[in-house]
Homo-oligomer: A and B are copies of this chain.
Amino acid sequence: MRTVGLLGGGVIGGGWAARFLLNGIDVRLFDPDPEAERKVSEVLANARRATRRLMLAPQPEEGRLTFVAAPEEAAEGADFVQESAPEREELKRSLLAAADRAAAPGVVFASSTSGIRPTLLQADMARPERLCVGHPFNPVYLLPLVEVVGGDRTSAETCERAAAVYREIGMRPLVLRTEIDGFVADRLLEAMWREALWMVADGIATTEEIDDAMRFGAGLRFACMGSFLIYRIAGGEAGMRHFMAQFGPALQWPWSRLTDVPELTEELLDRLAAQSDEQAAGMSIRELERLRDDCLVAVLQGLRSRGYGAGEVVAEHERALLTRVHPTPATAIDESAPVVLHATVIPAEWTDYNGHLHESRYLQVLGDASDALFRYVGIDEAYLADAGNYFTVETHLRFRAELAAGDPVSVAIHVLAADEKRLHAWLELRRADGEVAATAEHMYLHVDAATRRSGPVRADVLANVRRLAGAHAELPRPAAAGATIGI
């Protein structure tokens, strides 16, 4: 997939734009709002920041974003169209019908609607069979869930192809068999949200207290497991039936306001607004967004370390990127000098309370450069799975200059020697002005994927390593290589 057409560039449409662009896909976006360009660029800035923090894999080159003047232009030349207009059925229907006329046959359409049935949305389309719902969650660039639902006239292939698009950009499609207002997730959220509004209306608790009742308790579980699995565990060895026997009766107790919806009186709206202001404690929406994203990144990183739930989705996407985002073949790199295969910008969270890069993060940048070297000599995902990988077994670091948040840096690698198992290299971490901030003398050892012990590199990779070592043998040896530490 090369290009997507987006209809709508609000919080959700902007989030889609960010997720597609950061996965290397070009975006053609239509939004009549004169502020759309500014709004999308703000979402994109947040998304770049969060994605760079989250992903361990190299990112593809960002796609190109084009703003267009009509829905037809967004759909022209697009391989996939995602609609994220405001939740007004008529508006969505007319946008989808217009884009449908301009899109090539076989292009799949999805609507981001939070709850309008796709059967209603496809009513005016000439090719209704190609529309399904693809309902994401905010922020779209971080949360992997997308609910995929077809309408009466949607073809089965459409839902499958939309799901494949979402998987390609690191998401987790949940394909529903049955069309229903609100789909699944929003029905759960709405039920809870109504109950929360009742509690504010009845003066039981403030917005902040209600939020605290979730995020310090059950909300932590919901990041990992849903109610059914959680309650199964609570029921113990006797299983779900036992749990229902024990706790089913409570369903009949007066524990929630079921009968209706609180009236949104001026008084209730005032109370909600005032309590929400107090809860935000003067933080702007931009600050709250960054706080939310930082916490989501941390939660996703945590779950990735356990290989579970949304963390596993992130890890899978990283593995896929490792294969897809391959540096251009060896020919494009000048091997007669130390090779520069990795460049980055120092992120703020890598710095200490003085604003300087923490010593351990020097090694992280150097490690990322090592990974780039391994990919360069031919270690791809298949090789990692079947053959093995290089590991750093030893390094001699010299810290020479401080680095601060925002400093652009690059790493040049000089291969000093190599044999069938080992690779000895000299790395220089350089600032944009050429000053060397750190040097490292690394010894990498090749470890066999099957035995988990050191073993020879595969011949094709070894050939690349030897070619590079041969070229670098012509270079002057760094004066400090091979030195010892001592007083």
Checking B213, B310, B443 against A216 with a beta-carbon cut-off of 8 angstroms, the contacting residue is: B310
Interface set, chain A 287-328, CB cutoff 8 A to B: 288-289, 291-292, 294-311, 313, 315, 318-319
- Are B395 and A396 in contact (CB-based, < 8 A)? yes
Interface set, chain A 240-273, CB cutoff 8 A to B: 240-241, 244, 246-248, 250-256, 258-261, 264, 269, 272-273
Instruction: Tell me which residues across on chain B come within 8 A of A279, comparing CB atoms.
Output: 228-229, 232
- Are B487 and A484 in contact (CB-based, < 8 A)? no
User: Copy number in this complex?
Assistant: 2
In the bound complex, CA of A414 to CA of B475 (Å): 38
- Are B250 and A228 in contact (CB-based, < 8 A)? no
- Are B484 and A482 in contact (CB-based, < 8 A)? yes
Instruction: Tell me which residues across on chain B come within 8 A of A237, comparing CB atoms.
Output: 284-285
A435: Cβ under 8 A from any B Cβ: no
Instruction: Tell me which residues across on chain B come within 8 A of A392, comparing CB atoms.
Output: 359, 399
- Are B276 and A239 in contact (CB-based, < 8 A)? yes
- Are B199 and A195 in contact (CB-based, < 8 A)? no
Closest B residue to A230 using CB positions: B292
A160: Cβ under 8 A from any B Cβ: no
Indicate the member of A224, A237, A422, A487 with the most B CB atoms within 10 Å.
A224
Interface of A is mostly: helix
In the bound complex, CA of A352 to CA of B327 (Å): 22
- Are B229 and A211 in contact (CB-based, < 8 A)? yes
Checking B207, B221, B288, B294 against A306 with a beta-carbon cut-off of 8 angstroms, the contacting residue is: B294
Interface set, chain A 171-199, CB cutoff 8 A to B: 172, 174, 176-178, 180-197, 199
In the bound complex, CA of A352 to CA of B384 (Å): 15
In the complex, how many angstroms separate the beta carbon of A444 from the nearest chain B beta carbon? Answer: 11
- Are A258 and B306 in contact (CB-based, < 8 A)? no
Closest B residue to A422 using CB positions: B487
- Are B300 and A306 in contact (CB-based, < 8 A)? no
- Are A236 and B11 in contact (CB-based, < 8 A)? yes
- Are A258 and B261 in contact (CB-based, < 8 A)? yes
Indicate the member of A188, A190, A240, A315 with the most B CB atoms within 10 Å.
A188
Instruction: Tell me which residues across on chain B come within 8 A of A231, comparing CB atoms.
Output: 193
Closest B residue to A276 using CB positions: B240
Checking B181, B219, B349 against A301 with a beta-carbon cut-off of 8 angstroms, the contacting residue is: B349
- Are B485 and A273 in contact (CB-based, < 8 A)? no
- Are B185 and A191 in contact (CB-based, < 8 A)? no
Instruction: Report if A298-B288 is in contact (Cβ < 8 Å); known contacts: A115-B253, A223-B219.
Output: no
Closest B residue to A315 using CB positions: B353
- Are B260 and A258 in contact (CB-based, < 8 A)? yes
Chain A interface: which size bin? Answer: 35 or more
Checking B204, B296, B310 against A215 with a beta-carbon cut-off of 8 angstroms, the contacting residue is: B310
Checking B193, B307, B361, B416 against A227 with a beta-carbon cut-off of 8 angstroms, the contacting residue is: B193
A47: Cβ under 8 A from any B Cβ: no
A137: Cβ under 8 A from any B Cβ: yes
In the complex, how many angstroms separate the beta carbon of A106 from the nearest chain B beta carbon? Answer: 29
Instruction: Report if A240-B288 is in contact (Cβ < 8 Å); known contacts: A207-B228, A299-B223.
Output: no
- Are B306 and A298 in contact (CB-based, < 8 A)? yes
- Are A210 and B239 in contact (CB-based, < 8 A)? no
Interface set, chain A 381-437, CB cutoff 8 A to B: 391-399, 405, 416-419, 422, 424
Instruction: Report if A349-B291 is in contact (Cβ < 8 Å); known contacts: A248-B264, A358-B364.
Output: no
A345: Cβ under 8 A from any B Cβ: no
- Are A306 and B295 in contact (CB-based, < 8 A)? yes
Instruction: Tell me which residues across on chain B come within 8 A of A353, comparing CB atoms.
Output: 56, 304, 315, 318-319
- Are B487 and A482 in contact (CB-based, < 8 A)? no
- Are A203 and B232 in contact (CB-based, < 8 A)? no
In the bound complex, CA of A189 to CA of B251 (Å): 11
A114: Cβ under 8 A from any B Cβ: yes
- Are A226 and B213 in contact (CB-based, < 8 A)? yes
In the complex, how many angstroms separate the beta carbon of A123 from the nearest chain B beta carbon? Answer: 18
Instruction: Tell me which residues across on chain B come within 8 A of A424, comparing CB atoms.
Output: 485-487
- Are B211 and A226 in contact (CB-based, < 8 A)? yes
A334: Cβ under 8 A from any B Cβ: no
- Are B232 and A210 in contact (CB-based, < 8 A)? no
A-B CB proximity, top 6 nearest: A211-B226, A145-B217, A219-B222, A298-B302, A182-B255, A302-B302
Interface CB pairs A-B, < 8 A, 18: A145-B217, A176-B209, A187-B256, A188-B213, A188-B214, A188-B218, A193-B227, A214-B222, A215-B222, A220-B223, A224-B295, A233-B285, A244-B269, A258-B260, A295-B309, A305-B355, A360-B360, A396-B485
